[in-house]
Structure 1
Amino acid sequence: MKEIEAKLNGDIDRLTNKTFKFDERIGEGWFSAVYFLKTREIAEKKLPNNYITMQFFQKNDAVLCGTDEAIALIHTFAESPETLEIYSLKDGDKIKPFESVLTISGAYQQFGFLEGIIDGILARRTSVATNVYNVVKAARTSGEQKPVIFMGDRDDHYTQQAGDGYAAFIGGSTAQATHAMNEWWGKKGMGTMPHALIQMFRGDIVAASRAYHEMYPEDDLVALVDFNNDVITDALKVAREFQHDLKGVRLDTSRTLVDKYFLRNHHLMGTFDPRGVNPELVFALRKALDEEDFQHVKIMVSGGFTESRIRQFEERNVPVDMYGVGGSLLKINIGFTGDNVLLNGTPSAKEGRRLRPNPRLEKVVYHGN
């Protein structure tokens, strides 16, 4: 963990390959496209003295992530990695379309079979980091930075959590749902209560909150108040019961439901979409809490939030204090390409591609296995 903290402070060039957990079968080519494996065999037998430069880029304005992982991969599985010449940008760097983010020079048979894996690492990590960055940016449209909790555990395979958590951190989310998402930072996951807890107390939000508070008195008490689809009624119940011990309430109303508040106030209907967590419901909740002197109670929202939806909330100054975001942050919308652009020191790229020197690239130091 000290290495990671040092890296973030700019004290060392790179994380080492000891930081990452890799499947040993990578070295056997198990995860490489077969044509890369065949090309490696041909290079070994027919062109043993080749020396190529492979260059990686993508086509968006983005927040780069995955370079340390890609470099650790190379240092772990390439043949004689200490002889390779690697230049790279750093995780967290802002990048432009077609900007070179990583170059590797050496014999193709040393590392070429890792091309697709490197593309995949950079694509996923950069996509998540960029998605999170854009959501965090949207959450400060109104001028104040609202915290964004990364809640992507239920939206993808569990094996992705650690890497996605790292990418989310690079993108600007410092609060994450699981321990795995936080493992690189030496922190633990954060969370309040699920609907399952309230269900076991037969929908009694006060009883569920009391049990939580008694079991975890060191935690901030944040009550989930949409179980009965009556967020204002239940929020006031827990606020009256716990007073200043209640730090916040969370709304996670399904997009298929209309909260009972609107069913009691028909005159409000007809001018907006009343389903799910909507601005009018949050305004009404804030007003109800304030009228009973619960101004200290924060409001957290979750359930289908995206960059555009958060931006809409912020532009309307909806009184949200924290956003919980999941699935929209995991969309892979940035793809990387690795091209061989030099052969034995001379330009030799496919038509339409060329070496794109980037003065921002830094030479990578080999740390050993």
Structure 2
Amino acid sequence: MESIGKEFELKRQGKIARLTNRTFKFDARIKEGWFSAVYFLKTKEIIKQRRPKQQVTMQFFQKKDAILCGVDEAIALLHTFAENPQDLKIWALNDGDKIKPFETVLMVEGFYEDFGYLEGLIDGVLARRTSVATNVYNVVQAAGDKQVIFMGDRDDHFSQQAGDGYSAYIGGVAAQATHAMNEWWGNEGVGTMPHALIQLFDGDLVKACEAYLATYPKDNLVALVDYHNDVITDSLNVAQHFGDRLYGVRLDTAANMVDQYFLRNQHEFGQEDLRGTNVSLVRRLREHLDAAGYPKVKIIVSGGFDADKIRRFESQNAPVDSYGVGSSLLKVNIGFTGDCVRLNGKEQAKQGRRYSFNPRLSAVEFSTVLEDE
């Protein structure tokens, strides 16, 4: 894991080769235009018949401060499906670069009929990958030195996991829920138990944990303690039973539930919303674990976390060791635009657009994304 981290840090600095086109499992129908907007396909045909061999410069940008991702994939897409890809001239930033609004992140020069129909696909690749990477980066910044676990497997179509996992890694999170999320960068998925495991042992958390350890004795045991909506009682039970073998407990209290601890101690009701996983509940849990002699048991929280919620927890010094985050990381909130801004070396673009060369761009060699890794 450490070596992978170093490799990708070097990659972000532009010091090693980009991911190759063999990293990505492209659908062969891209070549047929199956995923391209029809007006791009019609334009390609018109230009082939009426105005061929016109060299255009196409540049891509977006409108926010962001963490760029999807560039390697976009380049591989061009080199795999463009006509005469060896003749294209491409300049690009690197996955992981911090970018500004309207900054050109990718620029392509070539005959329009060779690559123009890929414009929308490139926009989409950059939009999703950059959105996820930026969302993850913002969560990581909010969490400070606390671990963040990417738990986005249930929040989108499974076919997106490899790209989302890579984007999450570029954003700063290496702990991810599925093996598929790690496919492009070589790690393995992490995780312990869902509520279903406890249910299958008739709600007996201790027996579920015993079975987990018997089956995976080398794993850190993290008990999921909100099954009975009584996280303090269940955490103390597993701590007393497993002692030093218990690595941590995870709270995933539903947003419409108030934990039994507060229902037993209603004098603690106040201005704070005590539904779901909240700061007061985490604080009381930490106090009870410490008082019982288990200060080393870590507390992992999940359920509705995003950058804002993590910032609230951190601003109140919530005794959290790790945050599990899912759906908020997958929101596509950054859109990219591809514009043709030069024609045969002369500026030609719609009103409001202009050629904007970015000195941070680096030329991309055709062989860079074709060689075996």
Shift of 1:4: 10
Q: State the partner residue of 1:179.
A: 179
The one-letter code of the counterpart of 2:247 is K
The one-letter code of the counterpart of 1:13 is A
Shift of 1:135: 0.3
TM (norm. structure 1) is 0.97
Is residue 76 from structure 1 mapped to residue 77 from structure 2 by the alignment?
no
Q: State the partner residue of 2:125.
A: 121
Rounded to whole Å, the distance in 1 between the matches of 2:78 and 2:365 is: 12
Computed over aligned residues only, the root mean square deviation of the Cα atoms, in angstroms, reads 1.5
Rounded to whole Å, the distance in 1 between the matches of 2:34 and 2:349 is: 27
Q: State the partner residue of 2:241.
A: 241
Shift of 1:45: 1.1
Rounded to whole Å, the distance in 2 between the matches of 1:207 and 1:7 is: 41
Q: State the partner residue of 1:202.
A: 202
Query: What whole-Å deviation, never above 9, does each CA across 1:233-258 have from its counterpart, x for those lacking one?
Result: 00000000000000000000000100
* Structure-to-structure mapping, 1:317-332, within 5 angstroms: 317-332=317-332
Is residue 19 from structure 1 mapped to residue 31 from structure 2 by the alignment?
no
Of residues 63, 75, 95, the one that matches 1:59 is 63
Shift of 1:96: 0.2
Q: State the partner residue of 2:142.
A: 138
Query: What whole-Å deviation, never above 9, does each CA across 1:16-67 have from its counterpart, x for those lacking one?
Result: 2111110000000000000000100111111112000000000000000000
Rounded to whole Å, the distance in 2 between the matches of 1:47 and 1:6 is: 45
Distance change >3 Å, CA 351–CA 51, structure 1 → 2: same
Query: What whole-Å deviation, never above 9, does each CA across 1:208-256 have from its counterpart, x for those lacking one?
Result: 1111011101100000000000000000000000000000000000001
CA contact (8 A) 2:175 2:190 kept: yes
The one-letter code of the counterpart of 2:123 is D
CA contact (8 A) 2:150 2:173 kept: yes
Count of matched residue pairs: 365
Query: What whole-Å deviation, never above 9, does each CA across 1:273-325 have from its counterpart, x for those lacking one?
Result: 11000100000000000001101100000000011000000000000000000
Shift of 1:186: 1.9
Shift of 1:13: 3.5
Is residue 312 from structure 1 mapped to residue 312 from structure 2 by the alignment?
yes
Please identify, of 156-165 and 198-207, the stretch whose mean Cα deviation from structure 2 is larger: 198-207
Query: What whole-Å deviation, never above 9, does each CA across 1:120-148 have from its counterpart, x for those lacking one?
Result: 000000000000000000001xxxx1111
User: Any unmatched runs of 5+ in structure 1?
Assistant: none
Q: State the partner residue of 2:220.
A: 220
Rounded to whole Å, the distance in 2 between the matches of 1:185 and 1:111 is: 28
User: Any unmatched runs of 5+ in structure 2?
Assistant: none
SS of the residue 1:184 aligns to: coil
The one-letter code of the counterpart of 2:77 is L
Distance change >3 Å, CA 251–CA 189, structure 1 → 2: same
Distance change >3 Å, CA 287–CA 4, structure 1 → 2: closer
CA contact (8 A) 2:48 2:113 kept: yes
The one-letter code of the counterpart of 1:166 is Y
CA contact (8 A) 2:59 2:341 kept: yes
Query: What whole-Å deviation, never above 9, does each CA across 1:184-211 have from its counterpart, x for those lacking one?
Result: 2222110010000001111111111111
SS of the residue 2:183 aligns to: helix
